[in-house]
């Protein structure tokens, strides 16, 4: 790696993570690409070398495991030219929490919370070592979700872990401001986005109106535009900004009733579909 500014991206092998890599490479960053699939990472690195002359280092790691998370943390700590960390790695599950495989729920909490915690701490230590005079433009983006603003049945762990990310980034922002630091932090909260995320869930995209589906290119462009403006919470697309505003303005008991009603309807439709098939 050379001395150009380095952006470290987790979950970089596809979707929003891969798009962060493309847009940051176009901005002149070199890249540390972190994900589980080496073939995907190598293909992306080759693409960026050809299109943007970007140098990419590949770190194959499953950040839900302690050993790989420690390796990634150590690499971040050693990155003297680190300028940006993008905590993007994540996944979702469907179904009632009580019916879910506990291992998958633990994996989600480890990936969304522990990986974000450990890598963010390492990045801030690295920024401190670099010195405050070089901190302008340095920062951390953690990919959250509009799900962070609600508690939804059949999506319990996902909503909870994304809510933690928002709370963590908000508190960190205040702490950095109190210390007079120029390091920027952001919680990116997209809605439904075209990616492999929903393919893994085996979700029928037709259940969601087409106008609510966002493209990863748009989501990342909005994130980086918000980062340039030092925006703490970035919600791409006006529809989702209105939805989150509605959720925040609705009294808790009413929002709870709405969520329970929707969940019951969803369960009834699932039972009806199962009976027909």
Position 196 scores a pLDDT of 60
- Three-state SS annotation for the chain: CCCCCEEEEECCCCHHHHHHHHHHHHCCCEEEEEECCHHHHHHHHHHHHHHHCCCEEEEECCCCCHHHHHHHHHHHHCCCCEEEEEECCCCCCCCCHHHCCHHHHHHHHHHHHHHHHHHHHHHHHHHHHHCHHHCCCCEEEEECCHHHHCCCCCCHHHHHHHHHHHHHHHHHHHHHHHCCCCCEEEEECCCCECCHHHHHCCCCHHHCCHHHCECHHHHHHHHHHHHHCCCCEECCCHHHHHHHHHHHHCCHHHHHHHHHHHHHHHHHHHHHHHHHC
Name the packing angle between helices 216-228 and 15-26 (round to 10°). 50
Residue 194 catalytic?
no
**Residue 169 contacts residue 185 (beta carbons within 8 Å):** yes
Position 2 scores a pLDDT of 53
Could you tell me the pTM of the whole model? 0.88
Of 158, 194, 240, 262, the catalytic one is 158
**Residue 35 contacts residue 11 (beta carbons within 8 Å):** yes
**Cα 180 from chain centroid (whole Å):** 26
**Could you state, in order of their start, the residue ranges of all structural domains in the chain?**
6-249
Q: What is the pLDDT along the chain (277 residues), one digit of tens a residue?
A: 456 899 999 999 999 999 999 999 999 999 999 999 999 999 999 999 999 999 999 999 999 999 999 999 999 999 999 999 999 999 988 788 989 899 999 999 999 999 999 999 999 999 999 886 555 689 999 999 999 998 888 889 999 999 999 999 999 999 999 999 999 999 999 988 866 655 555 555 556 667 777 999 999 999 999 999 999 999 999 998 998 998 888 887 887 787 777 777 767 665 654 555 5
Burial class (CB in 10 A: 0-12, 13-18, 19+), 98: exposed
Position 230 scores a pLDDT of 96
**Residue 125 contacts residue 140 (beta carbons within 8 Å):** no
Position 191 scores a pLDDT of 86
Position 1 scores a pLDDT of 45
Class for the domain spanning 6-249: alpha beta
């Amino acid at each position: 790696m050379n001395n150009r500014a380095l952006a470290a991206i987790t979950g970089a092998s596809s979707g929003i993570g891969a798009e962060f890599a493309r847009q940051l490479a176009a901005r002149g960053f070199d890249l540390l690409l972190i994900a589980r699939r080496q073939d995907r990472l190598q293909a992306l690195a080759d693409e960026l070398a050809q299109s943007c002359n970007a140098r990419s280092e590949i770190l194959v790691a499953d950040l839900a495991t302690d050993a790989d998370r420690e390796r990634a943390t150590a690499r971040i700590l050693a990155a003297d030219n680190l300028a940006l960390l993008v905590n993007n790695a994540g996944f979702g599950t469907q179904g009632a929490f009580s019916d879910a495989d506990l291992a998958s729920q633990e994996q989600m909490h480890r990936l969304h919370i522990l990986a974000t915690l450990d890598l963010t701490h390492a990045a801030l230590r690295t920024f401190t070592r670099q010195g405050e005079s070089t901190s302008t433009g340095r920062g951390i983006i953690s990919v959250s979700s509009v799900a962070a603003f609600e508690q939804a049945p059949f999506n319990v762990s996902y909503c909870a872990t994304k809510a933690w990310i928002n709370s963590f980034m908000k508190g960190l922002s205040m702490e950095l401001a109190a210390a007079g630091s120029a390091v920027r932090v952001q919680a990116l909260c997209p809605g439904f986005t075209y990616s492999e995320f929903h393919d893994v869930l085996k979700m029928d995209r037709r259940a969601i109106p087409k106008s609510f589906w966002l493209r990863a290119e748009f989501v990342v462009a909005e994130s980086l535009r918000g980062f340039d403006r030092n925006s703490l919470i970035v919600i791409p697309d006006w529809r989702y900004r209105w939805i989150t505003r509605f959720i925040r303005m609705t009294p808790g008991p009413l929002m709870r009733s709405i969520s329970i009603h929707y969940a019951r309807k969803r369960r009834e439709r699932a039972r009806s579909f199962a009976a027909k098939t």
